[in-house]
Structures are given as structure tokens and as C-alpha cells.
């Protein structure tokens, strides 16, 4: 069903599943912006992405707890859209201003860290990985370090969790 004052061809609400769907035009929003916005919401919602047609991404958001009613769904998808716009614009700005951002960040960090001691130089890891994305620009910190709740590792239920109490058949996953 449509949600009040939101375009019904782009946003729809499934009240049975308690999920809200948003269609995103890939030409307007790059995938990295969709990922970045999705990540901001995974501590609050279950987020599923799909491609219903070429040039389009569909984002499905459903509440982690309780059911998602009309007003809450409208608010949620509205906030997601704002975040998506913000992420799309930010990734463009980051590309355009990359030199300035890197210069300021490098100066700030080197000014704060100071020169390494001899022991630190000795212990330094010169392997390739240590230099990958040194400013963490390619990958957002939230993606990497995450708000605790949003971290996929942190959200994975442990065997003591409620979900783990079910009698389960071990799947043959990961093939």
C-alpha cells in the first residue's frame, strides 16, 4: 500500500510483513551511497537490497523489534531517503575535495602522532595491508568499526540468544 505524501511508484508499505520498500534510481544514487545509507540503518532495521529491474535498486527496511506501523514506516523511509541523498552527495564531495581532505587529515594526524620512536620503527609492519586505504577514505569507519550494534559481528546471535534455542538442523552452508 502507498504511504501518505510519498510517491507510490517509489515507496510502498507491506503491512503484513511490516516492511517498507523504496526504489532507488541507480543513475542518481551510486551503489556506494546505497551501501553507506543502508549501513547506517542496520542497527535499527533489517535491510535487504534487490534489483527489480536494470538501473534500479530496491531497499527493503523492516523493524527489528515490534511491527512497523504506517507513521513509523513513513518516518523510517523518509529518514533513509535523506541519509541516502546525504551519502550520495558526500561521496561526490569526497571525490572532488579529496586533495584538501587528505592534506588536512594527513597534517592533523602526523601533527598529533609525532615521529615514531626507534622501538616503534622496529616493530612497524611494512606489509602491504597496512598501507591499504591509509586514511580510511575508501571505506567508511562505520562500515569498518561500526557502532557496536550495527556491527554485523556484534549482531550475530550467539548460541545463548533466543534464536539459538530453537531446535535447528545444521545446514550445509557455505558451499
Partner 1 sequence: MNLLQIRKPSTTFALPFKHRAIGKEKVLISNTEGSFLLLSHEEFRLFAEGTVPRGSEYWKRLAERNFIRGEENRDAMASQLRARKGFLSYGPNLHIVVVTLRCNETCVYCHASRANMDQVQTDMTKEIAEQTVDKILQTTNPHVTLEFQGGEPLVAFEVVKHIIDYALKQNEKAQKQLEFTMVSNLSLMDEEKVAYLVGKKVQICTSIDGPEHIHDKQRRLPQASAHQKATHWIKRINEEYARIGLDPTLYHVEALLTTTREALPQWKEIVDTYVSLGCKALFLRPVDPFGFADKTGHRIEYPRAEYMTFYRDAVDYMLELNKQGVQILERFAAIFLTKILGGEDPNFLDIRSPCGAGIGQIAYNYDGKIFTCDEGRMLHEMGDSTFLIGEVGETSYRELMGHETVRALAIASNLDAQPDCVNCTYQAYCGVCPVHNHKSQGTIFGRMRESTLCAVHKGIQDYLFEKLGSGDPAVVDIFKKWTTVRDRTHFLQSCAV
Partner 2 sequence: MIELRFHRELYDGKSVDEALKIFGPHASFEQAEETAHWIVRLSAADGAREKRVAGELSNYALGLTIAAQAKKLGRAEKTTATAKQEAK
Binding site for partner 2 (CB under 8 A): 31-32, 35, 38-39, 42, 46-51, 57, 62, 64, 131-133, 138-140, 143-144, 146, 150-153, 155-157, 159, 161-164, 166-175
Strand partners, 61: 20, 47
| 41 contributes a contact to partner 1 by CB under 8 A | yes
152 binds, among partner 1, partner 2, none (CB under 5 to 8 A by kind): partner 2
Site for partner 1 in 136-175 (CB under 8 A): 136-137, 140-142, 144-145, 147-148
Q: How far apart are CA 160 and CA 7, in angstroms?
A: 43
| 94 contributes a contact to partner 1 by CB under 8 A | yes
171 binds, among partner 1, partner 2, none (CB under 5 to 8 A by kind): partner 2
| Residue 5 φ/ψ region, left for φ over 0, alpha for ψ in the -120 to 50 degree band, beta for the rest | left
Among residues 112, 118, 163, 173, which is the contact residue for partner 1, using CB under 8 A? Answer: 112
- Starting at the edge strand found earlier in the chain, the sheet holding 45-50 runs 11-14, 19-25, 56-63, 45-50
Amino acid at each position: 500500500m502507498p504511504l501518505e505524501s510519498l510517491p507510490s511508484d517509489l515507496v510502498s508499505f507491506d503491512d503484513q510483513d511490516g516492511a517498507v520498500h523504496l526504489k532507488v534510481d541507480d543513475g542518481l544514487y551510486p551503489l556506494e551511497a546505497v551501501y553507506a545509507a543502508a549501513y547506517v540503518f542496520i542497527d535499527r532495521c533489517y535491510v535487504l537490497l534487490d534489483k527489480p529491474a536494470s538501473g534500479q535498486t530496491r531497499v527493503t527496511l523492516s523493524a527489528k523489534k515490534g511491527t512497523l506501523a504506517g507513521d513509523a514506516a513513513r518516518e523510517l523511509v523518509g529518514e533513509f531517503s535523506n541519509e541516502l541523498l546525504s551519502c550520495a552527495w558526500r561521496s561526490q564531495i569526497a571525490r572532488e575535495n579529496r586533495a584538501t581532505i587528505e592534506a588536512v587529515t594527513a597534517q592533523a594526524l602526523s601533527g598529533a602522532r609525532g615521529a615514531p620512536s626507534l622501538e616503534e620503527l622496529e616493530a612497524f609492519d611494512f606489509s602491504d595491508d597496512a598501507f591499504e586505504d591509509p586514511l580510511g577514505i575508501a571505506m567508511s569507519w562505520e562500515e569498518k568499526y561500526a557502532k557496536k550494534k550495527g556491527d554485523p559481528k556484534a549482531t550475530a546471535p550467539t548460541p545463548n540468544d533466543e534464536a539459538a534455542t530453537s531446535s535447528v538442523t545444521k545446514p550445509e552452508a557455505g558451499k
